[in-house]
Homo-oligomer: A and B are copies of this chain.
Amino acid sequence: MYIKRSDGSGTVLPDKPICVISSASVVGNKEGEGPLAEYFDKIIEDERAGQDTFEHAESSFQKEAFAASMRKINMSADSLDCIFAGDLLSQCTPSSFNFKTAKTPFFGVFGACSTMAETLILASAYISAGAAKTAACVTSSHFCTAERQFRAPLEYGGLRPPYAQRTVTGSASVLLSDYDTAVGVRKIGKQSQKIASFTPGKIIDSGITDANNMGAAMAPAAFDTISAHLRNREISPSYYDLIITGDLGAVGAELLYTLMEKDFPGFRDRYNDCGLMIYDLKTQNVYSGGSGCGCSASVLGGYLLSKMRDGTLNRILFCATGALLSQISSSQGDTIPGICHAVEFSNY
């Protein structure tokens, strides 16, 4: 790998391909009623997924997504070298509990809603270093656990402002490997995906304190990372078929346009946001759109990689965004720092 840096964060380009060998996503009822329903591997109607608590249910969503990604390529647990996983909850328990019997080296990651991109970057570097041949990148979120964690238990019945977003109930697992392993696992051809570059993000704090307005808290971080990435790569937005943020929602996406359009004309034509795609905002009563680790992850593991496989998309910039708040930091009146990690996927 080598680093190109002309502005802000450095962009890293692997000199040997890091291959996507499998992906899967599993979502809840609400997401299964949305416009991307057909792209998810499984829709679990019961928000408890047959478990006794919502937290255990979130682990179950992860378990299903991970198992589906392994099953698709007949991969055995023995041949997986390591797992990178994280989620939104305190001490990332859905991830730890999901993998507590996995017998595979485990790296816990916390990047709030940017976690899928963070795990993809760390796993790519880990494989590129020769420290592993295969790695799983797994993340999840759940509407009911996130409400309890960040706002109030559902029973409280709190109302939310129209600029708030709804945490996606869902999980995705993306399996990466080095080139030789990928060739052994599946036919590597024109419509196989690789990670062509990535730009890890800095923390950007623009002073937002309203925990219902995470789109505004994260948009400046998305601007920082995406503009650094385009400058480092010396490309314009039209280089990509799609530049997609994680979960800026309607408010954050509009802010990002405003920030980007001066220096990067044509950005709007190539841009979308997972939080705006996973629900129908007109009919599904989800305020400003979807959010949560599971939002960008399930749109990537379901819709985006599927559209790359069928050739509709050939090159995308996946920019998962995270709001680094906690219930304690919000209660103490702190600002909400944001972060955005960008990962470029391309077909061969």
Q: Is the Cβ of A328 less than 8 Å from the Cβ of B122? A: no
A129-B1, A334-B97 known; A327 vs B203 contact (CB < 8 Å): no
Q: Is the Cβ of B104 less than 8 Å from the Cβ of A91? A: no
Q: CA separation between A85 and B41, bound complex, in Å?
A: 34
A1-B129, A81-B10, A329-B97 known; A107 vs B92 contact (CB < 8 Å): no
Asked whether any CB of chain B lies closer than 8 Å to the CB of A201, the reply is yes
Asked whether any CB of chain B lies closer than 8 Å to the CB of A106, the reply is yes
Q: Is the Cβ of A203 less than 8 Å from the Cβ of B106? A: yes
Asked whether any CB of chain B lies closer than 8 Å to the CB of A130, the reply is yes
Q: Point out the residue from B55, B96, B107 that lies within 8 Å of A337, measured CB to CB.
A: B96
Q: Point out the residue from B8, B91, B102, B205 that lies within 8 Å of A202, measured CB to CB.
A: B102
Asked whether any CB of chain B lies closer than 8 Å to the CB of A118, the reply is yes
Asked whether any CB of chain B lies closer than 8 Å to the CB of A9, the reply is yes
A contacts with B, residue count (CB < 8 A): 68
Q: Is the Cβ of A91 less than 8 Å from the Cβ of B110? A: yes
Asked whether any CB of chain B lies closer than 8 Å to the CB of A235, the reply is no
Q: Using Cβ atoms and an 8 Å threshold, which residues of chain B touch A104? A: 202
Q: Is the Cβ of B328 less than 8 Å from the Cβ of A89? A: yes
Q: Is the Cβ of B112 less than 8 Å from the Cβ of A110? A: no
8 Å CB interface, A325-342 against B: 325-329, 332, 334-335, 337, 339
Q: Can you spell out 10 A-B residue pairs with CB atoms less than 8 angstroms apart?
A: A1-B129, A12-B130, A52-B332, A55-B328, A90-B91, A100-B205, A100-B337, A107-B122, A108-B111, A122-B126
